[in-house]
A and B are shown apart, each in its own frame.
Chain A
Amino acid sequence: GAVVSQHPSWVICKSGTSVKIECRSLDFQATTMFWYRQFPKQSLMLMATSNEGSKATYEQGVEKDKFLINHASLTLSTLTVTSAHPEDSSFYICSARDLLAGLRGETQYFGPGTRLLVL
């Protein structure tokens, strides 16, 4: 089945630093990738939709200047948390749709997630 990788799997950093998370589709091309955040015991919340070759679409309440998204190729999207603070500590998960896969394009394939802890 389709595979999505995410790197790094966990990060511990000091407050004020920037953290970059990569999301790759390994065996399919993903024109659209999604970035989610999940706090403990809560559901996944969509942060932004990353479109290859164009600007990301951010959900209401998500600061685009703080969460920089770059989707430079059909297999890679990056999320950079700039000037991270303790309240940014969370589980960040990316997902990708394979639009060429017919019905399978209706499903999303998730990366394994990145746990960010900001001290």
Chain B
Amino acid sequence: RKEVEQDPGPFNVPEGATVAFNCTYSNSASQSFFWYRQDCRKEPKLLMSVYSSGNEDGRFTAQLNRASQYISLLIRDSKLSDSATYLCVVNLNTGGFKTIFGAGTRLFVKA
């Protein structure tokens, strides 16, 4: 089983749609959680951190459920510019800091 699992997609949605991505992680010692965005042939860029209380940044809402080891990202009112790969990222600190990346979920927003 992969340490961080995501649905690879692709998700094809029209502009204005709401889309949700899910992610599960296997290591209960995971400490911090993030969503990154990666455009084609570019490096990943931090989109937002994820907290148990849930957090929102404009059209983006992230949620963490530690009991279920589940992370989500909701994008409302999708824009063409949201088209990218979204990476679920987990930090561990078990005798050393380590970051585990999910394989990413591809999103295509169409006009």
Residues of A within 8 A of B (CB): 32, 34, 42-46, 49, 57, 91, 93, 95, 97, 106-113, 115
Contacts and interface: CB of A to CB of B under 8 A. Distances in A.
A43 B91 contact: no
Given A57-B96, A111-B43, A44 B32 contact: no
Interface stretch (B60-68, B72-80, B97-105): B97-105
Contacts of B41: 91, 113, 115
Contacts, number: 42
Given A110-B45, A111-B43, A43 B99 contact: no
B46 interface: yes
B25 to A, nearest CB: 14
Given A49-B96, A110-B43, 18 more contacts: A32-B97, A34-B99, A43-B101, A44-B44, A45-B101, A46-B99, A49-B97, A57-B96, A91-B41, A93-B44, A106-B32, A106-B91, A107-B34, A107-B46, A107-B49, A112-B42, A113-B41, A115-B41
Given A110-B45, A112-B43, A113-B43, A44 B97 contact: no
A42 B44 CA distance: 13
Contacts of B49: 106-107
Interface of B: 31-32, 34, 41-46, 49, 87, 91, 96-99, 101-104
Contacts of B43: 93, 110-113
Contacts of B42: 112-113
Contacts of A93: 43-44
B95 to A, nearest CB: 11
Q: By CB atoms of chain B within 10 A, which of A42, A97, A108 has the most?
A: A108
A83 B104 CA distance: 31
